[in-house]
Amino acid sequence: MPVHTPLRTPRILLLSLVATASLLGGCGSFDSASTRIANVVTPYKVDVVQGNFVSREQVEALQPGMGRQQVREILGSPLVSSLFHADRWEYVFTLQRPGVERQTRKLTVYFKGDVLERHEGDEMPSESEFVASLGKRSGTRKAPSLEATPEQLAKFPAPSRKADDDAAPTAPVRASYPPLEPAAR
Look at residue 139 in the predicted model and tell me its pLDDT. Answer: 46
Q: What is the DSSP string of 56-82?
A: HHHHHH--TT-BHHHHHHHH-S-SEE-
Percent of the chain with pLDDT over 70: 70
Q: Which of 90, 85, 100 is nearest to 51 (CA)?
A: 90
Greater pLDDT, 3 or 76: 76
Look at residue 42 in the predicted model and tell me its pLDDT. Answer: 67
Question: In angstroms, how far is CA 99 from the centroid of its own chain?
Answer: 16
Look at residue 27 in the predicted model and tell me its pLDDT. Answer: 59
Q: Cβ(123)–Cβ(104) under 8 Å?
A: no
Look at residue 57 in the predicted model and tell me its pLDDT. Answer: 92
Residue 75 is which amino acid?
A: L
User: Tens digit of pLDDT for each residue in 137-151?
Assistant: 544 556 666 788 888
Q: How would residue 10 be classed by pLDDT, with cut points 50, 70 and 90?
A: confident
Q: If DSSP states are collapsed to H, E and C, what string results for 1-59?
A: CCCCCCCHHHHHHHHHHHHHHHHHHHHHHHHHHHHHHHHHCCCCCCCEEEECCCCHHHH
Look at residue 182 in the predicted model and tell me its pLDDT. Answer: 78
65's CB contacts (< 8 A; 6+ apart) are 115, 116
150-156 LR contacts (CB < 8 Å, sep 24+): none
Question: 3-class SS at 114?
Answer: coil
Q: Cβ(104)–Cβ(125) under 8 Å?
A: no
Q: How would residue 64 be classed by pLDDT, with cut points 50, 70 and 90?
A: very high
User: Tens digit of pLDDT for each residue in 124-136?
Assistant: 888 888 888 776 5
Tell me the CATH number of domain 48-136, given options 1.10.287, 2.50.20, 3.30.1450, 1.10.1760.
3.30.1450
Q: Would you kindly state where each structural domain of the chain is located, as residue ranges? A: 48-136
User: Tens digit of pLDDT for each residue in 86-134?
Assistant: 889 999 888 888 777 888 899 999 999 889 999 999 998 888 888 887 7
98's CB contacts (< 8 A; 6+ apart) are 45, 47
Dihedral pair phi/psi, residue 36, rounded to 5°: -65, -40
Cα separation, 91 vs 52, whole angstroms? 6
Lowest mean pLDDT among 85-89, 98-102, 154-158, 169-173: 169-173
